[in-house]
Amino acid sequence: MRPTRPGVLVGLVVVVALLTWMVVRQFYAELPIVPWTAIPTVLLLALGEAYSAWMTKARLDRKPGTKPVEPLAVARLAALAKASSYVGAVFGGMFAGFALHTVQLLTRETPRAEFFVATGSFLAFMALICAALFLEHSCRIPEGPEDTDLR
């Protein structure tokens, strides 16, 4: 599995944001109110992934007081990290597109509240992407002395 490239994630956020902005611009009146519950939920997911990354890195580096980690568990965490970064990019783009539309309507009460919720959700998904990239980086096997001799 190749490492996730941040440029692909940025491109995904931008494309989805523009598509969402075009759709929301046409159908804003028919859409339900943006839920604020995405913010704490995604932030808790990001916190969990960041903690997993920190613990996995310590276990792979064989820090004192840590148990060795199973290779299959590391592979599963790497897959989780890759999936989380792409899902975070898609949903972050959706909330960014929604915020792009509602920023033009800040004089009205409901769109103003939706702008702040959408912006907070976008930032929460950006935190999830950062945590996912950190987890993916933490799942890399550290180079040992025997690896450097072969090169």
| Helix H or strand E encompassing 104 | none
Residue 23 has which token pair? 């759709």
DSSP string, 17-79: HHHHHHHHHHHGGGSPPPPTTHHHHHHHHHHHHHHHHHHHHHHHTT-TT-----HHHHHHHHH
The answer on pLDDT for 40 being more than 60 is yes
Q: Where are the domains of the chain?
A: 71-140
Q: What confidence score (pLDDT) does residue 145 get?
A: 61
Here the tokens at position 30 are 């028919």
- 129 pLDDT above the threshold of 90: yes
Q: Cα–Cα distance between 149 and 96 in angstroms, integer?
A: 48
Distance, in Å, from the CA atom of 55 to the CA atom of 63, rounded to the nearest integer, reads 10
pTM score of the predicted model: 0.88
What is the per-residue pLDDT for 104? 85
CA distances from 103 to 23, 38, 129 (A): 15, 19, 24
pLDDT tens, position by position, 70-123? 989 999 999 999 999 999 999 999 999 999 999 988 778 778 889 999 999 999
**What is the identity of the amino acid at 44?**
L
Confidence (pLDDT) at 150: 46
Convert the pLDDT of each residue in 29-39 to its tens digit.
Answer: 888 888 899 99
Higher pLDDT residue, 151 or 19?
19
Q: Whole-angstrom Cα distance, residue 144 to residue 139? A: 15
Using CA atoms, how far residue 45 sits from 79, 83, 98, in Å, is 15, 13, 22
Mean pLDDT of the 129-146 span: 86
* pLDDT higher at 96 or 146: 96
The string of pLDDT tens digits covering residues 52-83 is: 999 999 999 888 888 888 989 999 999 999 99
Band (pLDDT 50/70/90 cuts) for residue 151 is very low
